[in-house]
Structure 1
Amino acid sequence: MRLAVLDVGSNSAHLQIVEARSHKPPLPVFRLKAPTLLAESVTPDGALTPDGVERVVRAVACTVEAYRQHSAKDLIPLATATIRDATNNAEIRRRVREATGVELRSLSGEDEARVTFLAVRRWLAGNAGGEGLLLLDIGGMSMEIASGDGGEHPDLAVSLPIGAGLLTRRFLPEHPAARNAVERVRRHVRAAVRPVAAELAGHPRPDRVIGTSKTFKQLAGLTGEGDHLSRRALRRWVPRLADMSPLQRANLPGVAAARARQLLAGAVTAVTVMEALDLRTLDVCPWALREGLLLRRYRELRG
């Protein structure tokens, strides 16, 4: 069964088409990204600027046209936090619907955490089917954290407003970044994650800690640890990233120019959360929200 998911986020509209198969990983068929670049397109009152809205409409139109050229049974069109939480989200959805015929949907941050947890469980498959799992996912506007001792449904799923794009816009207006600006990000993240750390303290320590999202993938690439990321190596990179301009960061291996400006905030968030939760290392998973949505939809269609 061929299924498609369209994830419209702060950096791009990402279309992924797969051949879903029983008891096997989805087989990739087609992938396309169209830029949205919304990190600097949010006004102080939380609305997307007219230029930002126009980029969203163009990106969705481009990816939907590509979807219609493939014989997929179903399209899951998801608008993540940047659009979901925009004060003019109704206008954005209307513009997209009129231009493409597609109605963007949204999940709550907690539901995104649950769906991503499902994806990671399936990715781990038999290697960690009943192990305690802690999931961390840093996005543009929010960070999702989920934890569970077994099965595909987490016991804890939360979403925190500490996404890399949001923190960059609020606390890091200049790059290279001053030390006191970096420290403000660290204090803000520490305060945001403190209630989660307190709640997790009452849970068994996880057997596996997994980071998903482009941010964790890029940070693991920077530290040279491949599919792993250690707090110690990441801590060394924070001052180096702070001393760089976005252009210099974009020249680092594996760093996309569209994400270079917010990479510092992503690094500070990752290391601060790892410190708060007493995590020395984590594994990076290539599956995240899109894969979780596809897996869940396949199960629904199969009955």
Structure 2
Amino acid sequence: MRLGVLDVGSNTVHLLVVDAHPGARPLPAYSHKAELRLAELLDASGAISASGVDLLVRTVAEAMRVAEDKGVEDVLPFATSAVREAANGEEVLARVERETGVRLTVLAGADEARLTFLAVRRWFGWSAGRLLVLDIGGGSLEIGYGMDEYPAAAVSLPLGAGRLTAGRLPGDPPAAEDVRALRKHVRAEIGRCVAEFTRLGRPDHAVGTSKTFRQLARIAGAARSADGLYVQRTLRRGALEEWVPRLATMTAARRATLPGVSEGRARQLLAGALVAEAAMDLFEVPVLEICPWALREGVILRKLDVMSSS
């Protein structure tokens, strides 16, 4: 069957169309996305601005038209931290449903971590052993750890690259004191939860998912996306530590010229790099392997599991 996942994230609204059935890996058939950067469209009260809501409604409606055109039988719509934590989140959800007919399921942060972990486990298999999974989104950082298909420990922290950029790095390039303050803040937030994971033992395999990790790996020398899904891509902590001070002195326009960095994500790259560096350091991870599957694939896999058990 043809399924669609509509992901209203903190950076993009992304419709992923896959051909899937229980027992088989989902095959991507079409991808439609629009960069809204909702995490950066909050007003002083923490609400998504009126113009942002207008844009979201139009974007969801367009995504549903695309889903129909592509022959999608079932769309799985969900929203993550930007809508979940917005002061007017309930009003936004009600308006989206009223004007588009789409009822967005709002995922809790821990559920984001669990579903991402499921996708990573299915990608690498049981032979990967104990997994530590890091996912930097626009609004939050998800961390999962465990031996099974769902993590034994999972947390979501308000350390998304878009959120931190909008709230803490106003300059272009940012002021050195702002970068230092953000570095301190990020490390304190992650440091509070490290013990919850380290008490479970050292991971056998550390994995990074999300656009931020893919871009950081690419500028550090990993293979291009055009080389295919099955090429191994890694990010070394040493390479990341060399890149962070360089990124801090660059304008967004300069970062956008780096290999694999899109213009829309360039401004957020420094904040994402600071989060990635802190997580790898505090969890004592020398190398992360990059996984092409993440939250959207986890939502699809859970749907297929439910179908196969019914």
TM-score w.r.t. structure 2 length? 0.93
Name the CA distance, whole Å, in 1 between partners of 2:75 and 2:22: 19
Name the CA distance, whole Å, in 1 between partners of 2:97 and 2:275: 35
Aligned mate of 2:168, from 171, 180, 201: 171
Aligned mate of 1:183, from 180, 184, 187: 180
Change over 3 Å in CA distance of 1:262–1:12 after alignment to 2: same
Name the CA distance, whole Å, in 2 between partners of 1:246 and 1:118: 34
Amino acid at match of 1:24: A
Q: CA deviation at 1:221?
A: 0.4
Q: Which residue of 1 aligns with 2:135?
A: 137
Alignment of 1:1-16 (within 5 A): 1-16=1-16
Q: CA deviation at 1:126?
A: 5.1
Alpha-carbon displacement from aligned partner over 1:25-44 (angstroms, at most 9, x marks no partner) = 11112211123232431112
Percent of residue pairs identical: 49
Q: Which residue of 2 aligns with 1:260?
A: 266
Name the CA distance, whole Å, in 1 between partners of 2:38 and 2:126: 38
Q: Which residue of 1 aligns with 2:307?
A: 301
Amino acid at match of 2:234: H
Alpha-carbon displacement from aligned partner over 1:94-114 (angstroms, at most 9, x marks no partner) = 221122111111110001100
Q: Which residue of 2 aligns with 1:153?
A: 150
Amino acid at match of 1:249: R
Name the CA distance, whole Å, in 2 between partners of 1:157 and 1:11: 22
Q: Which residue of 2 aligns with 1:245?
A: 251
- Return 5+ residue gaps in structure 2 as ranges: 224-232
SS of match in other structure, 2:293: coil
Q: CA deviation at 1:127?
A: 4.1
Q: Is the 8 A contact 2:134 2:144 kept in 1?
A: yes
Alignment of 1:85-124 (within 5 A): 85-124=85-124
Q: Is the 8 A contact 1:136 1:210 kept in 2?
A: yes
Name the CA distance, whole Å, in 1 between partners of 2:95 and 2:213: 33
Q: Which residue of 1 aligns with 2:227?
A: none
Q: Which residue of 1 aligns with 2:229?
A: none
- Return 5+ residue gaps in structure 1 as ranges: none
4+ runs deviating over 4 angstroms: none
- The total of aligned residue pairs comes to 300
- Indicate whether 1:206 and 2:199 are aligned: no
Q: Is the 8 A contact 2:174 2:248 kept in 1?
A: yes
Aligned CA-pair RMSD = 1.3
TM-score w.r.t. structure 1 length? 0.96
Name the CA distance, whole Å, in 1 between partners of 2:174 and 2:47: 26
